[in-house]
């Protein structure tokens, strides 16, 4: 099992023309309290996600007729590896207002900027993330993701995706 797991969104252009200037905006983040009450995550800064392999917040062109590209949603790092100096600045304030999470898995959203508030770091819990997808020549639309993070790192990949983290489109 790797020490880092990346989560990407597969974006498909099913239209009859190339989509231009496509971007995915993380518009709103809510967290479930007691599995039923949905609360706005305070200080979450809405911003664009980054496209995979290019590190930009928009993609110049997404070819027509079923072509696809990937957009980074985020990643988790095995907790002991997060203390590595390469990750220190991003995770040094990982309490995110809810207590220390040094030994728990966190999902780091792939936002175009890492906000000082550290609200791009999702601590264990259940979340709803609203995404807005738009471009120069396409009708904007929205998708909502349900995200569950147990906080436990599993060395077995199958267990990790059954018990450690789940992401689905609702």
In this prediction the pTM is 0.88
* Domain boundaries along the sequence of the chain: 4-169
Residue 15 has pLDDT above 50, yes or no: yes
**Mean pLDDT, the chain, integer:** 87
DSSP string over 143-156? EEEEEEE-S---SS
Residue 63, SS3?
coil
Structure tokens at 86: 């390469």
Confidence of residue 84 (pLDDT cuts 50, 70, 90): low
Q: Which residues pair with 146 in a beta bridge?
A: 128, 168
Residue 51 has pLDDT above 90, yes or no: yes
Strand spans (E) along 58-157: 59-62, 67-77, 107-109, 121-122, 125-135, 138-149
Give the residue with greater pLDDT, 99 vs 8.
8
Structure tokens at 107: 């999902």
The predicted-structure confidence for 89-113, as pLDDT tens digits, reads as follows 455 544 444 445 678 899 999 999 9
Give the model's pLDDT for residue 53. Answer: 92
Residue 145 has pLDDT above 90, yes or no: yes
| Burial profile 125-135: b = 16 or more Cβ within 10 angstroms, e = fewer | bbbbbebbbbb
Give the model's pLDDT for residue 91. Answer: 57
């Amino acid at each position: 099992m790797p020490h880092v797991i990346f989560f990407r969104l597969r974006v498909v252009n099913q239209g009859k023309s190339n989509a231009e200037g496509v971007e995915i905006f993380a518009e709103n983040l809510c967290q479930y309290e007691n599995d039923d009450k949905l609360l706005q995550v305070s200080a979450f800064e809405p911003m664009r996600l980054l496209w995979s392999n290019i590190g930009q917040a928009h993609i110049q062109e997404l070819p027509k007729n079923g072509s696809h590209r990937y957009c980074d949603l985020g990643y988790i790092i095995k907790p002991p590896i997060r203390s590595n100096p390469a990750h220190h600045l991003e995770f040094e304030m990982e309490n995110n207002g809810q207590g220390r999470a040094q030994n728990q898995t966190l999902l780091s959203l792939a936002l175009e900027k890492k906000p000082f508030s550290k609200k791009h770091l999702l601590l264990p819990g259940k979340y709803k993330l609203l995404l807005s997808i738009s471009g120069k020549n396409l009708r904007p639309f929205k998708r909502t993701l349900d995200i569950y993070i147990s906080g436990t790192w599993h060395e077995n990949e199958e267990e990790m995706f059954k018990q450690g983290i789940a992401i689905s489109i609702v």
